[in-house]
């Protein structure tokens, strides 16, 4: 089970001077403890669920994630960067870059959930100017990059400098290859 949301503040649609915005750290302090884990379990036969909340610096954006079972070590660092990226304004690079899309962030978390082991190295997470995110690993002679477009569509590039192997392709067609590459990365890290 995975539920991910960037939480907007409620507003009165009849008040045009009050635009939709993201909750700040202060506004969410009473609801959730910042950057802490809370364990929830429903019916006892279900695995425990963890509610993870990560806020961007300054509290401009808060990500809420429900994760089934124990969270892997790479999850919190990735979520922290993704929250920061969601807080970027339009034109964040001064060359007309778009805001980072929630669809790209959601696709990144879902993809990592599906292909990353607990021992896989933490990816570098960077914004792309069209509003997507890129996940990168450059470890042990392997260069692996996953570009996630604002729509959530993804493309992967792989190069193993030790063996000379190279491949690229769209996800989900290359999902098994991506998972295997991450296993190899974990072994070389």
Residue 23 pLDDT: 41
Is the pLDDT score of 78 beyond 90? yes
Report the distance separating Cα 137 and Cα 115, nearest Å: 14
CB atoms within 10 A of CB 175: 16
The position carrying tokens 């919190």 is: 76
Find out whether 158 and 127 touch, Cβ atoms under 8 Å: no
Average pLDDT, the chain: 80
Report the distance separating Cα 187 and Cα 109, nearest Å: 22
CA dihedral 170, 186, 72, 43 (to 10 degrees): 80
Residue 84 pLDDT: 93
Report the distance separating Cα 160 and Cα 138, nearest Å: 10
pTM tops 0.85: no
Expressed as residue numbers, the domain containing 60 is 2-188
The stretch 103-121 carries a mean pLDDT of 93
Residue 79 pLDDT: 93
Residue 128 pLDDT: 98
Report the distance separating Cα 165 and Cα 151, nearest Å: 29
Report the distance separating Cα 152 and Cα 71, nearest Å: 23
* pLDDT-above-70 percentage for the chain: 75
Number of domains the chain contains: 1
More confident residue, 28 or 84: 84
């Amino acid at each position: 089970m995975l539920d991910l949301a960037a939480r907007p503040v409620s507003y009165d649609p009849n008040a045009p001077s009050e635009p939709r915005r993201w909750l700040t750290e202060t506004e969410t302090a009473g609801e959730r403890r910042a950057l802490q884990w809370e364990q929830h379990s429903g019916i006892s036969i279900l695995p425990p669920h963890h509610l993870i909340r990560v806020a961007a610096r300054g509290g401009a954006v808060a990500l809420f994630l429900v994760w089934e079972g124990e969270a892997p070590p790479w999850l919190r660092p990735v979520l922290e960067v993704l929250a920061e990226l969601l807080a970027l304004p339009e034109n964040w690079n001064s060359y007309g870059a778009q805001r980072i899309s929630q669809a790209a962030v959601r696709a990144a978390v879902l993809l990592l959930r599906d292909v990353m082991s607990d021992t896989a190295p933490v990816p570098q997470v960077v914004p792309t100017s069209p509003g997507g995110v890129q996940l990168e690993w450059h470890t042990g002679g392997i260069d692996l990059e996953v570009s996630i477009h604002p729509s959530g569509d993804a493309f992967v590039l792989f190069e193993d400098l030790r063996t000379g192997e190279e491949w690229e392709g769209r996800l989900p067609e290359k999902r098994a290859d991506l998972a295997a590459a991450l296993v190899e990365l974990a072994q070389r890290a």
